[in-house]
Amino acid sequence: MTTAAPPLEVAEASHPDYLRAESGVRSWLNTRDHKRIALMFLVAVNLSLLLGGLFALLLRVELLTPERTVMSASAYNRAFTLHGVVMVFMFMIPAIPTVFGNFLLPLMLGAKDVAFPRLNLASFYVYLLGSGLTLWSMIAGGADMGWTFYAPYSTTSPAAVAPVGLGVFVLGLSSIMTGLNFIVTVHTLRARGLSWHKLPLFVWGIYATSIIQVLATPVLGMSLLLVAVDRLFQLGIFDPTLGGDPVLFQHLFWFYSHPAVYIMILPAMGIISEVVCTFAHRPPASYRAIAYSSLGIAFVGFLTWGHHMFVAGMSVLDSGLFGVLSMFVAIFSAIKVLTWTATLRRGSICFDTPMLYFFWFLFLFIFGGMTGVAVATSSLDVHWHDTYFVVAHFHFIMVGGTLTAYLAGLHYWFPKLFGRCYSERWGMLSSITVFTGFFFTFMPQFLLGNAGMPRRYYSYPEQYAWLNVLSTGGASILAVGLLSTAACLAVALARGPRTSRNPWCSRSYEWLSASPPPPHNFLTQPDFERSPYDYHLPETIGVAAADAAAPAGQPAPSPGE
């Protein structure tokens, strides 16, 4: 990392950054600043990750031996349900949009804030409320229907399903609020001269995600509300004894929850697009290919929900159609993967921690994606359905993809968020540990699933033992890696050396403001006429103007005004 340019230090002294502009608990809890809201979300989603991770470890400990190890079958059901619910609805869906989307979107658009700052703060409290409801069910006896809430089990199970359903409904509200806010922000708050085709690719990813959030989340909300109300008042809408059809629930559920997978992966792809350009010091091999394939995935994602239901009673024609439509997602994803890879060509690549995570992402995404095409083939899916093969598949692509991108973003933008540098060596070692752990957790599960081990069972025949031991070992390494990452960043937060404004020499817009940025993001409006990927130009262009203008609070003359 390079040292700070002196003028900026002067500027920082006279204009405190957003972290120091105000102090006291109330200045945080009542803030409208998108950056502070992003940090509050950062704390909340990381706690969710920790909680979901603890449940995962409990599961892996239980599966260490073929018969009962530490918990009963019903405790196991509750543990995997809460692992799934917490990870999906409280970590993976909100994580990247609420943390990095909130923090970076206005910076990348040259705006002072998101369009509706109060709505933004409200979405945080709604998130807390939804999480609270969900966690309350844990104290009230736990829920045991799995994160998919399949009826009629979910409407008849004696466990506390209703609070989880309501909790996820409320979390959905928070998600809609965030998505709505981001769409409006992108449409109305772009700086002068910033056209759609100059938006940083992360913005495209977040924009596509937001569309899915606004369009799909209400349907999930309604399905879960029906399940919850069904339990409270015995509606019987999905209950076969009252004439209801459980398969209809699955249709409604997956109409949201399949696009939800893209809510998780599209922002991750946005981060990856930014990281690869910055660390290869190259513009993307094709800007439009990456931008439009995000929209393509968002669109096709709405037409693929049936591939979750190949064995739930569906005609062969429907299965075939859903299978083929699902494979379209692979085409768009392949476009992205090939474009990222082509971006590396003839680049001057820096192997820093975020770049390492880029490679982990690429591996997990390609491997998970290929197995995705395999399970979209309906004849093969009959064999793999509800086995560990599917568990391994979606952990590779959905969890692996999102988690590695989230960690890449956390390291890449750490200097932006906090103005400090983390230890590169420690970060890299943690990163390698995370990937090793992840690989050994889930690779054996592909083999287990293919050998026929069903998911959601707390015991298994002897012949699956060694692969399960391997998987549990991998999970322990993964836990160590994540804790080590947390420690690395915590130490950096407390004692890391101060960073310069643009430590990675990126050309993207968010680095044009100070690191960390002042409360209103830019002391002077930077030049948004140039591209955020103009690596072919000398480094000083644009940057020099920002630095030179900053100290006296004087604006650089910009053609727009």
Partner 1 sequence: MQGQVGRLLEEPRRDARHVSRGSLEPAEHFETLAQQERATHLGMWLFLTSEVLLFGALFGLYTGYRLEYREAFSQAVHHNNIAIGTINTAVLVTSSFSAAWAVHSARRGSRRGILVSLGVTLLLGLGFLALKAIEYLEHFAAGIYPGALYRSEELPGHGANLFFTLYFFLTGLHALHVVGGLTALAILALLAARGRHTPERHTSLELGVLYWHLVDVIWIFVWPLMYLQK
Q: Tell me which residues touch partner 1 (CB under 8 A).
A: 15, 32, 111-119, 176, 180-181, 183-185, 187-189, 214-219, 221-223, 226, 229-230, 233-237, 242-245, 248, 251-252, 255, 520, 523-524, 553-555, 557, 561
The token pair at 368 is 């998970």
Residue 107 CB, nearest approach to partner 1 (Å): 13
Considering the complex, state which of residue 8 and residue 453 has its C-beta at the smaller distance from partner 1: 8
Residue 241 CB, nearest approach to partner 1 (Å): 9
Residue 210 CB, nearest approach to partner 1 (Å): 9
Contacts of 466 (CB under 8 A, 6+ apart): none
Considering the complex, state which of residue 67 and residue 561 has its C-beta at the smaller distance from partner 1: 561
Length of the chain: 561
Considering the complex, state which of residue 54 and residue 189 has its C-beta at the smaller distance from partner 1: 189
Residue 263 CB, nearest approach to partner 1 (Å): 14
Alpha helices per DSSP H over 238-281: 246-280
Burial class (CB in 10 A: 0-12, 13-18, 19+), 330: middle
Residue 559 CB, nearest approach to partner 1 (Å): 12
Residue 227 to residue 236: CA distance in whole angstroms: 9
Residue 59 to residue 387: CA distance in whole angstroms: 16
Considering the complex, state which of residue 238 and residue 414 has its C-beta at the smaller distance from partner 1: 238
Measured N-to-C along each axis, helices 465-495 and 401-412 cross at an angle, to the nearest 10 degrees, of: 20
Considering the complex, state which of residue 124 and residue 255 has its C-beta at the smaller distance from partner 1: 255
Contacts of 206 (CB under 8 A, 6+ apart): 97, 101, 105, 182, 186, 266, 267, 270
| Beta-bridge partners for 387 | 454
Contacts of 234 (CB under 8 A, 6+ apart): none
Considering the complex, state which of residue 180 and residue 335 has its C-beta at the smaller distance from partner 1: 180
Q: Are 236 and 230 in contact (CB under 8 A)?
A: yes
What share of residues in the chain are helix, strand, coil (percent, to 5)?
A: 70, 0, 30
Give the CA distances from residue 506 to residues 284, 501, 534, 542, in Å, rounded to whole numbers and listed in that order. Answer: 13, 10, 10, 11
Contacts of 331 (CB under 8 A, 6+ apart): none
Residue 546 CB, nearest approach to partner 1 (Å): 14
Residue 243 CB, nearest approach to partner 1 (Å): 2
Contacts of 193 (CB under 8 A, 6+ apart): 527, 528, 529, 559, 560
Considering the complex, state which of residue 372 and residue 517 has its C-beta at the smaller distance from partner 1: 517
The token pair at 524 is 């002077």
Considering the complex, state which of residue 98 and residue 185 has its C-beta at the smaller distance from partner 1: 185
Considering the complex, state which of residue 175 and residue 430 has its C-beta at the smaller distance from partner 1: 175
Residue 433 CB, nearest approach to partner 1 (Å): 41
| The Cα angle at residue 21 between residues 102 and 123, in degrees rounded to 5 | 30
Considering the complex, state which of residue 221 and residue 532 has its C-beta at the smaller distance from partner 1: 221
End-to-end Cα, the chain, rounded Å:
34
Residue 64 CB, nearest approach to partner 1 (Å): 41
Considering the complex, state which of residue 224 and residue 410 has its C-beta at the smaller distance from partner 1: 224
Residue 62: name the closest of 43, 77, 44, 45 by CA: 77
Residue 319 CB, nearest approach to partner 1 (Å): 18
